[in-house]
Structure 1
Amino acid sequence: MKTNLNKYLALVICSVLLAVSVSSCKKDNYYKDGGLAKANFNGSILQYLQSNPKFDTIAQIVKLAGMEDILSKEDITFFAPTDEVIRRTIGLVNSNIPYVSGGLNQSLFELNKDTIKTLDEIPQATWRKYLMRYVLKGKYLLKDFPQLDFDLRPQYPGGYYYGYNGDLDAIGVVYNSVINKNTSNNTTTTIRYAGYRQLCIASIVDPSNPSNFYNVSAPVATSDIQASNGVVHVLAVYDAAYTYYNGADKLMRASEILMDDFGLYPDFFQEVILNR
């Protein structure tokens, strides 16, 4: 079954409009804190993806990659990217829509190569190779991963895990700080490791220099969704960690930084271009 990418990418316009409307609060609830997600799902990981509109395209890619049995029958842990990651990675030509310009199609267009119109134009082997980076054999909850501190890597390095196809992943739990502001004397106090805990995953493309991953680590928005055959950790699309005090005793978001490309590294992008 072919997916009409032009029709599919048109959904980006709706998502951008929603981002500036009241409904963006609902999106925040899913993508940022995951508060609306259920901890248990009565079905397989594949059925979870198929039941959730945020994963319509990911479910199609699972089929194109020939990985339906893996996600429905085997005991695995899946770090699930959302459809927005696919939209942004593939992108639009000469788009002025935020976050979807400069993707694969823009680069293909500038190189005088055919742009991607349907998802099945990308070979099955390519989809399979990079989707498997998100899959670990066995079931891993957040509590099963070691602590990761980007500022104190020698003490808290996280851990290294082999993905389903043998690629090396770096995974760890970031213990965030709590920042308290005293309005009476205009001072702040930081309590280290007292805040929320957040999983992060990255692909190690050069095992001889694994520290490279820290620049492209993708955080998890919702962790520990338990299906019948494993665990799903939903990856965040945005990182709202960059914050500041706006002078009105209110913590404000300075910027929202887009996270990983599909495949957790730009080599998916590069491989598709080289094979067009």
Structure 2
Amino acid sequence: MKINIVRNLFLTSLLGLLFVSCKKDYFIDSGIHKPNYEGTVLDYVKMRKDVFDSLYTVVKLAGLEPALDQNGVTFFAPGDPSIRKAVYALNKTLYQLGRDTIFTLNQVHPSVWREFLSLYIYNDTYMLKDIPQVDTLNLNIYPGQGFISYEGKNMNLGVNYNDVVSEIRKDEFQVVKYAGYRQLFLSYIRNTGNVGAFGSMINAPVATSDLKTQNGVIHALEYRRHTFGFVTSNFVNAAITKGIIYK
């Protein structure tokens, strides 16, 4: 009998604690998570100084703020390290030519920044789900899709479907084609006459896709595998040809 009494008291106390713990005073309502950035594409770039500080400077030098503030825009954002790699290549060439190197981004002619930055900007909004499959090793079957950049350059967008590889036993693997994670690619077309040929495109993989803003979407490029301008020699030659601004 004593055991039953003790058990009942215990259950009653437990129910009381559960009731008290469920009262509203014992938790904080953090609200509903908002997945979209409440600002424009340009606002987002300006805000993320940790990764896009140099990029924001380039946007201003190129005079492309209106392009990133327009309604319906897709921006493949190259991180600051990608820009630094291009500037390093330029300085290396200038040094080899016996010329002074540059110290600030505004020493490159604004038209050069505009020419190459426009490769990353597209009218209309394209999410990952809107873009067809690409297989960079089998472009004849999965070529992605051609898109025109902001200032009329032929580019290619595609989603790479990675394989799923699982180890069955030691040194024996099973591969399931196209069943893995999906990664968006922005590609510069070297030769528009033979897009399916190996090496005809330079691919820039996206690290983070579908960052929605009030006026469009941002896809942040993977900076370790991309140099601003896609073809480094094109950027370097354009910067030298247009004239370095020495102050």
Normalization by structure 2: what TM-score? 0.79
| C-alpha spacing 1:55/1:138, structure 2 compared with 1 (3 Å) | same
CA positional deviation for 1:112: 1.1
Within 5 A, what are the aligned runs for 1:88-237? 88-91=85-88, 103-183=89-169, 185-211=170-196, 214=200, 216-237=202-223
Q: Is the 8 A contact 1:168 1:205 kept in 2?
A: no
CA distance in 1, matches of 2:177, 2:35: 27
Greater per-residue helix proportion: 2
CA distance in 2, matches of 1:220, 1:154: 22
SS, match of residue 217 in structure 1: strand
Which of residues 15, 24, 48 in structure 1 aligns to 2:44? 48
CA positional deviation for 1:211: 4.1
CA positional deviation for 1:214: 4.8
Matching residue's letter, 2:44: Y
CA distance in 2, matches of 1:167, 1:150: 20
Q: After superposition, what is the alpha-carbon deviation per residue over 1:201-239, rounded to whole angstroms, capped at 9, x for unaligned?
A: 11224422334665521100010000111010000023x
Matching residue's letter, 2:128: L
Q: Is the 8 A contact 1:57 1:83 kept in 2?
A: yes
CA positional deviation for 1:107: 1.1
Unaligned runs of 5+ in 2: 1-33
CA distance in 2, matches of 1:116, 1:74: 35
Q: Is the 8 A contact 2:74 2:217 kept in 1?
A: yes
CA distance in 1, matches of 2:194, 2:102: 33
CA positional deviation for 1:39: 4.7
Larger radius of gyration: 2
Within 5 A, what are the aligned runs for 1:79-94? 79-91=76-88
CA positional deviation for 1:194: 0.9
Quick check: 1:74 aligned with 2:71? yes
Equivalent residue, structure 1, for 2:16: none
CA positional deviation for 1:85: 0.4
Normalization by structure 1: what TM-score? 0.71
- For these two proteins, the number of residue pairs brought into alignment is 207
Question: RMSD across aligned C-alpha pairs, in angstroms?
Answer: 1.7
Which aligned segments of 4 or more residues in structure 1 are displaced greater than 6 angstroms? none
Equivalent residue, structure 1, for 2:231: 265
CA distance in 2, matches of 1:144, 1:174: 13
Equivalent residue, structure 2, for 1:99: none
Q: After superposition, what is the alpha-carbon deviation per residue over 1:18-69, rounded to whole angstroms, capped at 9, x for unaligned?
A: xxxxxxxxxxxxxxxxxxxx95211100111111110011011111111112
| C-alpha spacing 1:39/1:234, structure 2 compared with 1 (3 Å) | farther
CA distance in 2, matches of 1:120, 1:188: 52
